[in-house]
Amino acid sequence: MRRSWVVMSPWCLDFASTRTSTVVPVLLHELNCGTLHVPGGSAVFGADSFVCRCLLIELGDRLVAVDTGIGRGDIASPEARLGKEWIASVAPALDRDETLFARVAALGLDPRDVSDVVLTHHHRDHVGGLSDFPRARVHATRACRSAVEEGEKRVMPAQWAHGVTWAPAPAPAPDWRGLATWTLYGLPASIRLVALAGHSPGHAGVLVEEAAAGRETLHLGDAVHHHTELTGTAPPAVEAFATSTQHDAAARLRTRELLAALAADPSLRLVNSHDPVAPLRLSRPG
């Protein structure tokens, strides 16, 4: 089995194709595509450093990425693409070996085989690697795409200057555990966007279902930044950061409450973008 720098080892899943009844075996990797060093480290934020967690899905003869982290262009022109203030606040490692492009190659795979990128949202530490995969179709909620096209305040224009091939809009699908979902053009129905509102316009999680084994993985994006947010024990700095970056306070808190309830389910694996701990899991007494 290939191994990757991940918070956890890669694991095998089986997806039913949307076009046939054929089951397509896949391999799913968690990859750190950008280490962030927050001021005060563990004493202030509950972790010495944070990650930019992306998923890479080996789907037959093609690859699907969930977010792209910090890219090669960001490292070549950090102030233009990431912003001087942001760099000063999180001190990104800016290591070419941590880019999604390099991680894919390190797995012995061809980065040109990344056919699709699914975005949780449009913030700079999630989309910097898009320019490394110019042929990939980009999937996002309508609101997320609109935020990019309308130049929402957190959009870094230089990260999008290469031009993006947007996939057709996601199609509404049945709710999942009370949350709205969408299927994605050309991808199996086992990979869906899940509405996790609050952090940014159109913010969504990405659900990967393994129905045959009764397991699911949900990438939360930035719905939470640290696992202690799900237990109400987050360090003040984490709470302050979550508040300072939110788009809709009430929606963010509702989403967090829903995720706290889901975290106790042993059949559901929760991972988020920045917490070095994975999966996010709550223990219930009794």
pLDDT tens for 16-55 read 444 444 455 667 899 999 999 999 999 999 999 999 999 9
Q: Let me know if residue 276 belongs to a domain.
A: no
> pTM for the full model?
0.91
Q: Let me know if residue 19 belongs to a domain.
A: yes
**What is the residue range of 190's domain?**
11-271
Distance CA 250, CA 148 (A): 23
Please enumerate, as own/partner, the contacts of 35-41 that have beta carbons within 8 Å and a separation of 24 or more.
35/92, 35/93, 35/95, 35/98, 36/90, 36/91, 36/92, 36/93, 36/125, 36/274, 37/90, 37/91, 37/92, 37/93, 38/89, 38/90, 38/91, 38/237, 39/89, 39/91, 40/237
- The whole-number pLDDT of residue 279 equals 75
71 close to 123: Cβ distance less than 8 angstroms? no
Mean pLDDT over all residues of the chain?
A: 90
Mean pLDDT in residue range 273-280: 86
Enter the tokens of residue 132. 């490394």
Q: In the chain, helix, strand, coil percent, each to 5? A: 30, 25, 45
Residue 74 belongs to domain with CATH number: 3.60.15.10
- The whole-number pLDDT of residue 15 equals 45
Q: What Å distances lie between residue 70 and 32, 97, 117, 257, CA to CA?
A: 10, 11, 14, 29
Q: Let me know if residue 4 belongs to a domain.
A: no
- The whole-number pLDDT of residue 215 equals 80
pLDDT in tens, 172-205: 999 999 999 999 999 999 999 999 999 999 999 9
192 close to 172: Cβ distance less than 8 angstroms? no
Question: For a pLDDT cut of 70, what percent of the chain falls above it?
Answer: 88
Q: What Å distances lie between residue 46 and 8, 131, 217, 249, CA to CA?
A: 19, 32, 24, 22
- The whole-number pLDDT of residue 209 equals 85
Write down the residue that tokens 């219930």 correspond to.
284
Distance CA 88, CA 108 (A): 34
The candidate with the shortest Cα–Cα distance to 267, out of 281, 284, 285, 286, is: 281
Q: Let me know if residue 141 belongs to a domain.
A: yes
Mean pLDDT in residue range 107-119: 97
Q: Based on the number of CB atoms within 10 Å of its own CB, is 215 exposed (0-12), middle (13-18) or buried (19 or more)? A: middle
- The whole-number pLDDT of residue 34 equals 98
Q: Let me know if residue 282 belongs to a domain.
A: no
- The whole-number pLDDT of residue 282 equals 57
The candidate with the shortest Cα–Cα distance to 33, out of 138, 106, 140, 139, is: 106
- The whole-number pLDDT of residue 277 equals 87
Q: Let me know if residue 2 belongs to a domain.
A: no
Q: Let me know if residue 278 belongs to a domain.
A: no
Distance CA 115, CA 13 (A): 19
Beta-carbon-side half-sphere exposure of residue 186 (alpha carbons within 13 Å) = 16
Task: Please count the structural domains in the chain.
Answer: 1
Q: Let me know if residue 80 belongs to a domain.
A: yes
pLDDT in tens, 60-70: 889 999 999 99
pLDDT in tens, 225-271: 999 999 999 999 999 999 999 999 999 999 999 999 999 999 999 99
Question: Please, what's the b/e burial string for 75-96 (b: 16 or more CB within 10 A of its CB; e: otherwise)?
Answer: beebeebbeeebeeebebbbee
In this predicted structure, the answer to whether residue 1 has a pLDDT above a threshold of 80 is: no
DSSP-derived secondary structure letter, 69? B
- The whole-number pLDDT of residue 281 equals 64
- The whole-number pLDDT of residue 213 equals 66
Cis-peptide into 279, omega within 30 deg: yes
